[in-house]
Chains A and B, each alone.
Chain A
């Protein structure tokens, strides 16, 4: 379990996250939603140790994240950032980088690492891209390659910042179904999502953030029924079975 206690993170003097409490479980897909600039991406970076914690504590499976070095964190948490440069390498090589935290200094990628990379690509049906340069891929394909890299890292938790960016509707749905399947198999998936309807349809739990604080953190059904999403986003959400749509209020 990832536990966040009284967490504050700031850029300069301004607290982007202000005294936040939350927990994320293995085997659950948790969506973090909230208006732009509410601190969603900052929260992921603070959990990963990419941004320094001003106050409070993040613990991963009971161990304070500050007592783990960056490679130890990377063996427990994989991360898909929102903005990524286009590296000059093949898709297969990019996915292989996901094995980096598991290698010691000067150790080379083994055949087993390459097999894990290929298997991650197969999970996303992108194994045909193995030898293709990343620079020649479309935005959607590239996003899938980065997701495969996060899967190749083989961690208990996967943190994703807007994973459906660059994906068309069909691929977004496929990805959410895959995240659902991965969480069912035991991984803890934490995904910042801008698409509220995808979050409502696929997530087990939802955290709604606003202005650096958690407004509600509960099961998807409870969050939907609370009306918090309607208030925070100033929309009216409707459900038809397990499908959701929204309109302006």
Chain B
């Protein structure tokens, strides 16, 4: 029995999309490495790789551009995949770590850590994950117990987001010397990335992305609803928890690197879905690649648009993300859900 010609066509489309995603990843990474207030040439980069931090440009490349670009790529991948997973698990296309408060949970944990003098890469990543996971778990639990519709999960998330931000604000007011909680952290920014912060997040994000892709089959089944999924033999409660842990690890690691960047987890999965990709085994890796490229490009714009001054990448995200959020709501209304 042959599959339909249309399916073969869609396989070709998927291959082309992967090619485009890899190209975007590579081009954005190259632009991220080459662009900024200091002019660094390809020669400087080769020299830095060969001889280490011998000159000013080599030092800028090794200690500023390279970690920053890696962070952009990782954070973009992490937030995009976390968004795609949360949308499936919470059965709402508007769900993303920034919108339902998962990022704010991680942010509050980091604020608390900083207030109590707990600095350090791994510790920060751990508490960030705990904050993100507890928030994701709370939103999921409250939504399942009390939400009258799938739409309510967003409202519950927005409410939890506000509460968490209020706690963070209160702590910043009580501990005004918290350097971390500068405007950069609240808006989302990559200018303060160091290898010390980068290492734990890199390990967590790369391992978690791999685990997420391994579980893509289960992620598809969970979107069929609890009863159908259980009828197919999926341990729904266990898998829902696994996916919330995965989302929290990704969002927590991203927040500990770049602060509270919003809308990435909404924009990228939607854009990939708009290209006709729905199966998680394609959706997750494409989100990772496009998300990495997208955030890195946005950061390049943030670095260069008012050069020599930089603006926080979170500002660019908010300018792009807020209208996109409205677009998704309008589009959702147009989708036929009943006869």
Residues on A lying within 8 angstroms of B by beta carbon are 45, 48-50, 69-75, 77-81, 83-90, 92-94, 97-98, 100-101, 103, 106-109, 114-115, 118-119, 127, 130-131, 133, 135-136, 138-140, 146, 153, 166
- Complex-state Cα separation, A153 to B235, whole angstroms: 17
Complex A-B, nearest 6 residue pairs according to Cβ-Cβ distance, in ascending order: A74-B233, A79-B231, A71-B233, A81-B227, A101-B233, A89-B278
> Which of A50, A106, A127, A138 contacts B339, CB < 8 Å?
A138
- Complex-state Cα separation, A118 to B7, whole angstroms: 11
Q: Are B220 and A70 in contact, CB atoms less than 8 angstroms apart?
A: no
With A139-B339, A166-B339 as contacts: A114 and B3 at CB distance below 8 Å: yes
- Complex-state Cα separation, A107 to B278, whole angstroms: 19
With A101-B233, A114-B3, A136-B336 as contacts: A84 and B93 at CB distance below 8 Å: no
> Which of B1, B4, B273 contacts A115, CB < 8 Å?
B1
Is B232 part of the contact surface with A, judged by Cβ < 8 Å?
yes
- Complex-state Cα separation, A106 to B230, whole angstroms: 18
Q: Are B224 and A87 in contact, CB atoms less than 8 angstroms apart?
A: yes
Q: How many A-B residue pairs have CB under 8 A?
A: 104
Is B228 part of the contact surface with A, judged by Cβ < 8 Å?
yes
Residues 1-41 of chain B, each 1 if its beta carbon lies under 8 Å from chain A, else 0:
10110110010000000000000000000000000000000
Interface residues of B in 194-236 (CB under 8 A from A): 214, 217, 220-221, 223-225, 227-228, 230-235
Q: A81-B231, A87-B223, A98-B232 are in contact. List 20 more A-B contacts (CB 8 A).
A: A50-B227, A74-B232, A78-B231, A79-B227, A81-B227, A84-B225, A85-B91, A86-B337, A87-B225, A88-B223, A88-B278, A89-B278, A100-B233, A108-B281, A114-B3, A127-B4, A131-B10, A135-B337, A136-B336, A140-B339
**Which residues of A are found within 8 Å of B273, using beta-carbon distances?**
88
20 of the cross-chain contacts (CB-CB < 8 Å) are: A48-B230, A50-B227, A50-B231, A72-B233, A74-B231, A79-B228, A79-B231, A92-B7, A97-B221, A97-B224, A100-B233, A106-B214, A108-B281, A115-B1, A115-B3, A118-B1, A127-B4, A131-B4, A138-B339, A140-B339
**Which residues of A are found within 8 Å of B4, using beta-carbon distances?**
127, 130-131
**Which residues of B are found within 8 Å of A97, using beta-carbon distances?**
220-221, 224, 232
**Which residues of B are found within 8 Å of A114, using beta-carbon distances?**
3
Which single residue of chain A is at the shortest CB-CB distance from B1? A115
Q: Are A81 and B232 in contact, CB atoms less than 8 angstroms apart?
A: no
Is B338 part of the contact surface with A, judged by Cβ < 8 Å?
yes
- Complex-state Cα separation, A136 to B6, whole angstroms: 17
Residues 239-283 of chain B, each 1 if its beta carbon lies under 8 Å from chain A, else 0:
000000000000000000000000000000000010000110100
**Which residues of B are found within 8 Å of A133, using beta-carbon distances?**
278
**Which residues of A are found within 8 Å of B279, using beta-carbon distances?**
89, 93
Is B335 part of the contact surface with A, judged by Cβ < 8 Å?
yes
- Complex-state Cα separation, A216 to B144, whole angstroms: 37
**Which residues of A are found within 8 Å of B10, using beta-carbon distances?**
131
With A108-B281, A114-B3 as contacts: A84 and B223 at CB distance below 8 Å: no
Interface residues of B in 161-200 (CB under 8 A from A): none
- Complex-state Cα separation, A146 to B224, whole angstroms: 10
Residues on B lying within 8 angstroms of A by beta carbon are 1, 3-4, 6-7, 10, 91, 93, 150, 214, 217, 220-221, 223-225, 227-228, 230-235, 273, 278-279, 281, 335-339
With A85-B91, A139-B338 as contacts: A100 and B232 at CB distance below 8 Å: yes
Q: Are A89 and B220 in contact, CB atoms less than 8 angstroms apart?
A: yes
Q: Are B3 and A135 in contact, CB atoms less than 8 angstroms apart?
A: no
With A74-B233, A135-B337 as contacts: A84 and B217 at CB distance below 8 Å: no
With both chains docked as a complex, state the minimum distance between the C-beta of A135 and any C-beta of chain B, in angstroms.
6
- Complex-state Cα separation, A57 to B223, whole angstroms: 31
- Complex-state Cα separation, A86 to B220, whole angstroms: 12
Q: Are A118 and B3 in contact, CB atoms less than 8 angstroms apart?
A: yes
Q: Are B231 and A84 in contact, CB atoms less than 8 angstroms apart?
A: no
**Which residues of B are found within 8 Å of A153, using beta-carbon distances?**
232
Which single residue of chain B is at the shortest CB-CB distance from A138? B339
Q: Are B7 and A130 in contact, CB atoms less than 8 angstroms apart?
A: yes
Residue with the greatest number of chain A CB neighbours at <10 A, chosen from B3, B221, B338: B3
With A108-B281, A114-B3, A130-B7 as contacts: A48 and B231 at CB distance below 8 Å: yes
**Which residues of A are found within 8 Å of B150, using beta-carbon distances?**
85
- Complex-state Cα separation, A164 to B224, whole angstroms: 19
Residue with the greatest number of chain A CB neighbours at <10 A, chosen from B231, B232, B335: B231
Which single residue of chain B is at the shortest CB-CB distance from A45? B227
**Which residues of A are found within 8 Å of B230, using beta-carbon distances?**
48-50, 70
With both chains docked as a complex, state the minimum distance between the C-beta of B270 and any C-beta of chain A, in angstroms.
11
With both chains docked as a complex, state the minimum distance between the C-beta of B18 and any C-beta of chain A, in angstroms.
16
Which single residue of chain B is at the shortest CB-CB distance from A166? B339
- Complex-state Cα separation, A51 to B197, whole angstroms: 46
- Complex-state Cα separation, A114 to B228, whole angstroms: 19
With both chains docked as a complex, state the minimum distance between the C-beta of B227 and any C-beta of chain A, in angstroms.
4
Which single residue of chain A is at the shortest CB-CB distance from B88? A88
Q: Are A94 and B224 in contact, CB atoms less than 8 angstroms apart?
A: yes
Which single residue of chain B is at the shortest CB-CB distance from A99? B232
**Which residues of A are found within 8 Å of B336, using beta-carbon distances?**
135-136
With A93-B279, A97-B232 as contacts: A84 and B339 at CB distance below 8 Å: no
With both chains docked as a complex, state the minimum distance between the C-beta of B288 and any C-beta of chain A, in angstroms.
18
Q: Are A131 and B7 in contact, CB atoms less than 8 angstroms apart?
A: yes
Q: Are B232 and A88 in contact, CB atoms less than 8 angstroms apart?
A: no
Q: Are A81 and B228 in contact, CB atoms less than 8 angstroms apart?
A: yes
